[in-house]
């Protein structure tokens, strides 16, 4: 059965000491509450500079660290880039790829993402792959086409074995950091569409086992309604992942619905 997941995305926030303090606080709260049940996979996406130290602050039984990006190339003369192999060598098991901020501000195209996903999988990283439409695309009723094309052009070159290492995050761009969440019905509708698109390409078994997360102003007030949907397997959480209490509450909500 597919996993329930709550993943945080700290983005470019926290200095290293602040990040270690936040991770330690999250870890302590998770340990205290997870003694009884441990059904939800908890992932924390941190800046590259924090992976090693934050990773050491987290008990692997309760949560894991993720990178927020990796290079498209394996190694070589690419000044400032961080390779998937480097990330894996820090004991990190996950990487977030295709976030809308990277697509919008750093020109990440589907073709670049294909290379990044390949590098990540070569290094045994599990990929949280983000898709989602901008407001104009939704208003023009193109959101299904946009997401389908992001899936087809960014992921569907993968084999059946490879796609099993992908977690999909549906993040409507108009909901990210805006306080405007997709309604529960909008989220379910798109998640079901994503699952059926995966099923058409890879078969029902693969689609039933792939986790699809919702991201976009998900918080302690709206998470329950979102997570109750049969095709919403969890959340990718930006702002609320920077507050230990809120983040752990979101894990609790995921665990209990």
147, 132 contact by CB (below 8 A): yes
Report the residue from 98, 154, 215, 234 that binds ligand PEP according to the rule CB under 6 A: 215
Report the residue from 168, 216, 244, 251 that binds ligand PEP according to the rule CB under 6 A: 216
Q: What is the spatial distance between Cα 184 and Cα 174, in angstroms, rounded to a whole number? A: 15
How many whole angstroms from its chain centre is CA 22? 19
**Beta carbon of residue 50, minimum distance to ligand PEP (angstroms, whole number):** 17
Is 234 a binding residue for ligand PEP by CB under 6 A? The answer is no
Q: What is the spatial distance between Cα 244 and Cα 119, in angstroms, rounded to a whole number? A: 32
- Judged by CB under 6 A, the stretch of 65-73, 109-117, 185-193, 233-241 that binds ligand PEP is 233-241
Among 34, 99, 143, 191, the one annotated catalytic: 99
Task: Take residue 94 and report the two structure tokens written for it.
Answer: 């996950």
**Beta carbon of residue 77, minimum distance to ligand PEP (angstroms, whole number):** 31
Is 242 a binding residue for ligand PEP by CB under 6 A? The answer is no
Name the maximum alpha-carbon separation found in the chain. 49
97, 128 contact by CB (below 8 A): yes
Report how many residues bind ligand PEP under the rule CB under 6 A: 12
Q: What is the spatial distance between Cα 208 and Cα 195, in angstroms, rounded to a whole number? A: 7
Is 189 part of the annotated catalytic residue set? no
130-189: contacts with ligand PEP (CB under 6 A): 171, 176-177
Is 43 a binding residue for ligand PEP by CB under 6 A? The answer is no
Is 34 part of the annotated catalytic residue set? no
Task: Take residue 129 and report the two structure tokens written for it.
Answer: 């792959």
Is 55 a binding residue for ligand PEP by CB under 6 A? The answer is no
- Calculate the CA dihedral of residues 48, 110, 175, 235 and round it to 10 degrees: -60
**Which CB sits closer to ligand PEP, 188 or 217?**
217
Among 101, 126, 137, 171, the one annotated catalytic: 171
Coil, strand, or helix at residue 215? Answer: strand
Which stretches of the chain bind ligand PEP, using CB under 6 A? 9, 171, 176-177, 215-218, 236-239
Catalytic center residues: 99, 171
């Amino acid at each position: 059965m597919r996993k329930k997941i709550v993943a945080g995305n700290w983005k470019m926030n926290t200095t290293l000491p602040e990040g270690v303090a936040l991770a330690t606080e999250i870890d302590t709260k998770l340990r205290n509450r997870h003694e009884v049940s441990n059904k939800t996979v908890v992932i924390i996406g941190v800046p590259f500079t924090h992976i090693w130290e934050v990773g050491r602050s987290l008990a692997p039984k309760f949560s894991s660290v993720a990178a927020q990006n990796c290079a498209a190339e394996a190694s070589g003369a690419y000044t400032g880039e961080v390779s998937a192999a480097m990330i894996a060598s820090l004991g990190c098991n996950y990487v977030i790829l295709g976030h809308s901020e990277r697509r919008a501000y750093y020109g990440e195209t589907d073709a670049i993402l294909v290379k990044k996903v390949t590098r990540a999988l070569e290094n045994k990283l599990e990929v949280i792959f983000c898709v989602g439409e901008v407001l104009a695309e939704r208003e023009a009723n193109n959101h299904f086409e946009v997401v389908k094309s992001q899936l087809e052009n960014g992921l569907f070159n993968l084999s059946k074995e490879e796609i099993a290492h992908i977690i999909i995050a549906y993040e409507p761009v108009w909901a990210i950091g805006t306080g405007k969440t997709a309604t529960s019905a909008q989220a379910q509708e798109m998640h079901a569409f994503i699952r059926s698109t995966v099923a058409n390409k890879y078969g029902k078994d693969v689609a039933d086992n792939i986790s699809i997360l919702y991201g976009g102003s998900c918080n302690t007030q709206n998470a329950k309604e979102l997570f109750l949907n049969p095709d919403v397997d969890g959340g990718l959480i930006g702002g609320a992942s920077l507050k230990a209490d809120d983040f752990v509450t979101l894990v609790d909500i995921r665990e209990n619905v």
